[in-house]
Amino acid sequence: ILCVKPTEAKLAHLYYLPKTNKPGTPLRPIVSGLKHPTIKISKYLDELLRPLFDKIALKTTFTSGFDAMKQLYEWSTYNLREETLRCTIDVVDLYTMIPQTEGVLAIKTMLDYLKLKQIGGLKVETIIRLSRFVIKNNYFSYEG
């Protein structure tokens, strides 16, 4: 069920889209892997892990300008002071900059924090192994 049929599998491919809102119009790398051999495992892991991550990140994630103002107001009542510095960060090529080992470790750290032994009937160790498998087999072609 988590396998792509060998006759339908295709290597992911890399292409670029221009960032027209940035000076010098830098390129954004896109890896399209809709028929990649690991796509079904990736989607399955995403379905298992995304709700857990979203729950953890809920208190520090803004979904709109209104939400940001509401959260800042709530935070100001207990831990923001006048001298608190606020900033925004633009991370360049985040996806391509995450080292494989640290990516899997981040997943394990999140699951350890939640003190879960199983998710969706899978042991945490199995989820870690599947994550490692997907990351280590995330190949793509360029101009080929």
User: Letter for the amino acid at 69?
Assistant: M
Provide the 10 A C-beta neighbour count for residue 59. Answer: 9
Overall residue count recorded for the chain in this entry: 144
**Dihedral (C-alpha) 94, 34, 63, 116: value to the nearest 10 degrees?**
-80
pTM over 0.85: no
Q: Is the pLDDT of residue 107 over 90?
A: yes
Give CA separation, 14 vs 17, 36, 39, 64, in Å.
10, 12, 15, 31
pLDDT digits over 20-51, tens only? 988 999 888 888 888 889 999 999 999 999 99
pLDDT digits over 43-102, tens only? 999 999 999 999 888 877 777 888 888 887 887 777 777 777 777 776 666 666 778 899
Smallest CA-to-CA distance from 42 within 12, 80, 16 is with: 12
Q: Is the pLDDT of residue 128 over 80?
A: yes
pLDDT of residue 144: 65
Read off the pLDDT band of 110 (50, 70, 90). very high
